[in-house]
Amino acid sequence: MTKLALQAPSQAPRLLDLPTKPVQLPVSRRRAALLLTVIGVTLIIGVLLSVAIGQLPISIPEIFGSFCRKLGLGCTSPDALYIDGALWEVRLPRVVLTVLVGGALAAAGAVMQGIFGNPLADPGIIGVSSGAAVGASLAIVTGIGALSSIAIPGAAFVTALLTTFFVYAFSRSNGRTEVITLILTGIAVNAVAGAGLAFMTFAADTNQREQIVFWQMGSLAGSLWFQVGAVLPLVLIGVIAIIPLMRQLDLLALGDDAARHLGVDIEKLRVVAIVIVAVLTASAVSFAGIIGFVGLVVPHLIRMVAGPSHRLLIAASIPGGAAMLTLADLVARTAVPYAELPIGMITALIGGPFFFYLLRRQRSRTGGWA
């Protein structure tokens, strides 16, 4: 009887079975402010360089002078016609679209890493971007894209959503998302999407073929203000929709059982988060093509500095992704004189080695965030 009494406490069910992995303390406000300041300054510098550097160099005073003229405040210049044309018709639409696409991909990556519970999740790696590109290419080949300016983004959104749900369902096993299954599913999805893109490239005419190749390589060349107007509302909706989920994503990092005990409806959270990821990814891919690794590299680097809190993580990932893609686009435009490199190639050169690093680090750990 005494033996049973002594054993009873250890055998009694626990109300909350917290994970054994270490919990990081919240980052200080001063450190958070410093991080956001550094990222913000980097983004501003990247934007100014992107606006100033090109076949027609535009100095910083000339940039401000052009804004002054746009506001009707005078600021005349003998080269005003050329400067204003290059700035407002070519440079600024591209820079603004780059900022939106980079922020959307980074935010989608941060949310996806939160709902899958590992740092290897990324819209590009698991095939969401490729799935969206298949939908957009299908709209191009069938001629649906010519019917409306939102037909191609709409097709990309639908296929991105379907691809995300498929990857999520297939990678789940016994209530958990296996990293290896996630990666292998992404490899398979990318392979199938690549085959679909190859077939549509074969079946398309010359003009359609050029558009499909654009999707596969990723580029922000020829960005227009109407594209900015189409992407901006989707990105704003996606980012605003993330805000109520931040606390629940923090609780989900403790593990599914702990999050359930704390009142989180896990399946509902994941479904809503998946829809948000699809909206952000599809809006980015719709006009920029496949740009990988932004959603992998940026959130992970910020998490290493700032910790796991999604409030700071997402707040810093959005300008961080914008800064990374702005600088990558600047390299794509200027690395080779009178030519432009695919921006997807630039981000892959950065993200590929970083992904290998993550895989090696993940193997050396028993679990948890890197």
The overall average pLDDT reported for the chain is 82
Give 195-207 pLDDT, tens digit per residue. Answer: 988 899 888 888 8
pLDDT at 60: 86
> For residues 291 and 169, which has the higher predicted lDDT (pLDDT)?
291
pLDDT tens by residue, 238-292: 999 999 999 999 888 888 788 888 888 887 888 888 889 888 988 888 788 888 8
Q: Which domains does the chain have, with CATH numbers?
A: 116-293 (1.10.3470.10)
Does the pLDDT at position 364 exceed 50?
yes
What percentage of the chain exceeds 90 in pLDDT?
24
Strand partners, 172: 177
- Between the two ends of the chain, the Cα-to-Cα distance in Å is 47
**Where do runs of H (alpha helix) occur along the chain?**
2-11, 29-52, 60-70, 80-86, 92-116, 128-142, 151-171, 179-203, 206-217, 225-242, 246-252, 256-261, 266-288, 294-306, 310-334, 343-363
Would you call 188 helix, strand, or coil by DSSP?
helix
Q: Which residue has the higher pLDDT, 150 or 132?
A: 132
